[in-house]
Amino acid sequence: MYQTAKITFISSLVLIFIFSAGTFAQQAIPHRPYIDSEFWRIVNAPNLDSLNGENPQKQHVIDHGFVKDDQNTWHLWACMRGTKLGRLFYGWKGNSLSGPTLEPAGIVARAASAWGEQVEPQEKIQAPYFLKEDGMYYCFYNSNGIRVMTSENGADYKRAKIKNNSNLLYEQGGRDVMVMVEDDTYYAYSTVSTVAKDGWLRGFIIVRTSDDLVNWSDYTIVSEGGRAGNGAVSAESPFVQKYKGYYYLFRSSSSTGTCFVYRSTNPYNFGVNNDDKLIAELPVWAPEVIFENNQWYISDIADFQGIKLARLNWMEDL
């Protein structure tokens, strides 16, 4: 009886191992992303009337974020630079990403001195990124540090008092933050640009982690150098997407207007000063990757006069 039970137990372990290994193998399939359609313009640069900058050619639509609220309405916020005030968030909304152009919703946020955000010498609030987690909506951004707004419905956002009566998550985070959640851990990826004493410019992407949005780890450099370059604008607008067991980093270069895509099994390492994990180069700038109704999309700030979308697809890379 004991021997039979022991054999049954061992057999069960073997089956569990085989099933687990098979599940992992099925999930961990390397892919390459590719653009699978023509681009269409989903929003145009708005007229800010009295807040327009002096030079219309330098008033740009840049880093942006998409979110669908609890009424199934899509919201798109983008950073506008070169305005009379400096940088602010402008919004659009609509019912579909594949249909007509989203409708303007006006200025949705400006830097607030009461929260310690940058308002001098000009206002600066940048790179909104949306995340829905456990029924709460978050909008992460940078302005004198990495900050967050929250919403219960996905449409109306306000600054959240995360710690010390402030919405500041941490100061040393650079810009262009995006946040991925996995196993109850927040991974905050962002761009850092530095200038050495000899004038040498350096740009790289870091990650910090937290399990409560209050306490954050020290930073780890996850991507720098290689074919994408080493300058201050060579590692911008990071976007990390997990797909079929791998992590994909979309890293933009303002020097070339190209997005470099890296694939890794480790969310802390996409290649530092090497291209071992580089798998694709896409003709887009500061993209967001969106999954909606079984369809992947990728955005592009294109000519800085609006935002375009195209369908994205994945091919096996065996």
- Distance between CA atoms of 67 and 133, rounded to whole angstroms? 12
Residue 13 lies in a domain: no
Work out the number of other CB atoms within 10 angstroms of the CB of residue 159.
Answer: 18
* pLDDT per position as a tens digit, 261-310: 999 999 999 999 999 999 999 999 999 999 999 999 999 998 999 999 99
Q: Return the amino acid letter for 309.
A: L
* pLDDT per position as a tens digit, 84-133: 999 999 999 999 998 778 999 999 999 999 999 999 999 999 999 999 99
Residue 8 lies in a domain: no
| Neighbouring residues of 152: CB distance < 8 A, sequence distance ≥ 6 | 135, 136, 137
- Distance between CA atoms of 99 and 309, rounded to whole angstroms? 11
**Whether the predicted model's global pTM rises above the 0.85 cut:** yes
Residue 21 lies in a domain: no
| CATH number of the domain that residue 301 is part of | 2.115.10.20
Residue 15 lies in a domain: no
Residue 57 per-residue DSSP state: G
Q: Which of 301, 292, 312, 310 is nearest to 237 (CA)?
A: 301
Asked whether the CA dihedral 276, 282, 283, 286 is positive or negative, the reply is negative
Band (pLDDT 50/70/90 cuts) for residue 21 is very low
Residue 299 lies in a domain: yes
Residue 124 pairs in a beta bridge with 118
pLDDT at 15: 40
Residue 217 pairs in a beta bridge with none
Question: Whole domain around residue 193: which residue ranges?
Answer: 30-316
**Is residue 2 pLDDT above 50, yes or no?**
no
Residue 73 lies in a domain: yes
Residue 16 lies in a domain: no
Work out the number of other CB atoms within 10 angstroms of the CB of residue 98.
Answer: 13
Band (pLDDT 50/70/90 cuts) for residue 27 is low
Residue 18 lies in a domain: no
**Torsion from C-alpha of 149, 176, 76, 240, nearest 10 degrees:** -100
Mean pLDDT for 192-216 is: 93
For 281, counting Cβ atoms within 10 Å of its Cβ (0-12 exposed, 13-18 middle, 19+ buried), the class is middle
Domain count, the chain: 1
